Amino acid sequence: MATSAARRIVLASTSKYRKSLLDRFGLAFETASPETDETALPDESPTATAERLALAKARAVRSRFPDALIIGSDQVAHLDGQVFGKPGTTDAAIGQLTRMSGRTVVFDTALCLLDAASGEYCVETVPTRVRFRELVDDEIRRYVDIERPLDCAGSAKSEGLGITLLEALSGDDPTALVGLPLIALARMLRASGVCLP
C-alpha cells in the first residue's frame, strides 16, 4: 500500500463498539455506514463470510472517500456449524445464550484495510474461542434484561456484564472479541505509513 504521513482514515461502520475501540489510537478518523448485505453465501464458512463482509464494507464506502485508508470489519460467531448473528430481539438473545451454555463458541473477527486510492487491501481474521459456563434460565434472562445485548453477535458483551457468563477466553487480541482487532489494525496502519504510537 502507498505510504503517507497524513492519510484520511475512515471506519466503514456505524458500530459504537468499533468506534470506541478505534478511538484508542488517538487518530483523526471519520465513520461511514457501509449499507452492506450481511447474508452468508451458500456453503460459505464463517471465516470466509467474515472476511468477505469486512472487504465488502470497506469497498462500499470507497467512492465517497477516494483518497482514504478505509477500515472494514465483520464478526461471525459459530458453534458446530450454527452461526449466531446479532439477535435483534430478547427472545433470540435468550435462545442464543441457552444454546451456548456450557459450550465453546468461536468468534471470527475479520479486519480489512483498503487503500481507496490504489485499490490495494489486506484482510486478516482474528479468532477468539469463548467458553461459556453452564447458565441457568434465570441468569440468562437477568443478563439480557440488564445489558440488552441485542446488537452484538452471540448476545454477550465481554466488555460489560457479559463477562460474568464466561469461563474462559483465548485468542491473540482481546479487542477482536469486541469487534475490531486493534493489534492487527495497528500493524496494517503502520505498513500503510500511519505513525503509531
**Residue 168 amino acid letter:** A
Task: Verify whether residue 74 is a known catalytic residue.
Answer: yes
Distance from C-alpha of 110 to C-alpha of 74, rounded to nearest angstrom: 5
- The second-level CATH assignment, the architecture, of 9-191 is Alpha-Beta Complex (3.90)
Domains of the chain, residue spans: 9-191
Q: What number of residues does the chain have?
A: 197
Q: Distances in Å between the alpha carbon of 177 and those of 7, 58, 77, 83, 105?
A: 27, 20, 10, 15, 11
Q: What confidence score (pLDDT) does residue 1 get?
A: 46
Angle, vertex CA 109, rays to CA 97 and CA 117, nearest 5: 150
Per-residue pLDDT in tens (0 to 9) along the chain, 197 residues: 444 457 899 999 999 999 999 999 999 999 999 989 988 899 999 999 999 999 999 999 999 999 999 999 999 999 998 999 899 999 999 999 999 999 999 999 999 999 999 999 999 999 999 999 999 999 999 999 999 999 988 999 999 999 999 999 999 999 999 999 999 999 999 999 999 98
Question: CB-based contacts of 163: which residues, under 8 Å, 6+ apart?
Answer: none
Distance from C-alpha of 74 to C-alpha of 49, rounded to nearest angstrom: 8
Q: What confidence score (pLDDT) does residue 7 get?
A: 85
Q: What beta strand segments (E) does the chain contain? A: 9-11, 30-31, 69-79, 82-84, 104-115, 121-132, 166-171
Distance from C-alpha of 113 to C-alpha of 188, rounded to nearest angstrom: 7
Q: Which of 152, 181, 42 lies closest to 86 in space, CA to CA?
A: 152
pTM: 0.91
Residue of 23, 67, 74, 91 marked catalytic: 74
